[in-house]
Amino acid sequence: MIEISNLVKYYGDKKAVDHISFTVNKGEILGFLGPNGAGKSTTMNILTGYLSATSGKVLVNGADILEQPEIAKKSIGYLPEQPPLYLDMTVVEYLKFICDLKGVPKDERIRQMAEIMRLVKISDVSGRLIHNLSKGYRQRVGIAQALIGNPEVLVLDEPTVGLDPKQIIEIRNLIKTLSKRHTVILSSHILPEVQAVCDRVVIINKGKIAAIDTQDGLSHKLSSNSKLALTFEGPFREAAGKIHALPGVIDVSLIRESDSIQQIEITTDPKTDTRKSIFFAMASSSWPILEFRSLDPTLEDIFLSVTSSEEKKRR
């Protein structure tokens, strides 16, 4: 759906983007991450046609964003970090204006606007001035303008910035719904949000790709083994022996013991999912599981590890 090849962007003598290449598959939610000044926003602006690249190529659904901008941009819906809203318009007036800009046929506008407002849940404020809407509703209106014209690709830059926890969950669920009909590129500083919704992650640092993979893939690269924490009621030695005998289990160690409650760490081969076999082993011996969780690196751990290691390489 999107192909970025050897993208380079200079601002004077400063190289903001340094030979970036990656693809985004149809129907995928791709997380695009990077620290401040990494070149993330520049890359997204080039992708959406707001900036031209110094060199390299961006293809959107087969169309070159530089050589065929009208064709390429028809496939893109863009929500910048600051939604491009006209506060003195009502929601309906604003969406009609966006329909004009995007050339949506007049006989389709009412149906399309009604469907989009229902999808992003702003139908109840359609007649209100945008100026009088809350931050959460303004973000929804911003997403609505990105959906006008039914683009195949949605580029969302910090879609939940400044929202309260309830609004963040609502926007997150909306993004998951949108991915059923659109390819989504999501840029966010809120790493749990990216972890919750994205299929794959690109991490950019100092203008270069620092890592690209699924979260599980990045986690396995960061750590050669997987680790699980298990808290249960029962005898440690007997349980440890039974778990250690399971396929894929490398080691079992005691973390903490309190009366008959044991907390243990289980090291496993990352290629083998041992969770079911551990559960059934515990159940067959009637040892109640009180807590069972992964100790694998979180996306935050991966992000910090990747960006800090890239910094060390440059010193």
3-class DSSP string for 229-280: EEEEECCHHHHHHHHHCCCCEEEEEEEEEECCEEEEEEEECCCCCCHHHHHH
Predicted confidence at residue 241, as pLDDT, reads 96
Residue ranges of the chain with per-residue pLDDT less than 50: none
Q: Model confidence over 177-229: pLDDT tens digits?
A: 888 889 999 988 778 778 888 999 999 988 999 889 887 788 777 666 788 99
Q: Model confidence over 100-118: pLDDT tens digits?
A: 999 999 999 999 999 999 9
Predicted confidence at residue 314, as pLDDT, reads 55
Q: Name the DSSP letter for residue 298.
A: P
Rounded to whole angstroms, the Cα distance separating 29 from 27 reads: 7
- On whether the 2-219 domain is CATH 3.40.50.300, my answer is yes
What is the residue extent of each domain of the chain?
2-219, 224-294
Predicted confidence at residue 312, as pLDDT, reads 54
CATH class of 224-294: alpha beta
Predicted confidence at residue 113, as pLDDT, reads 95
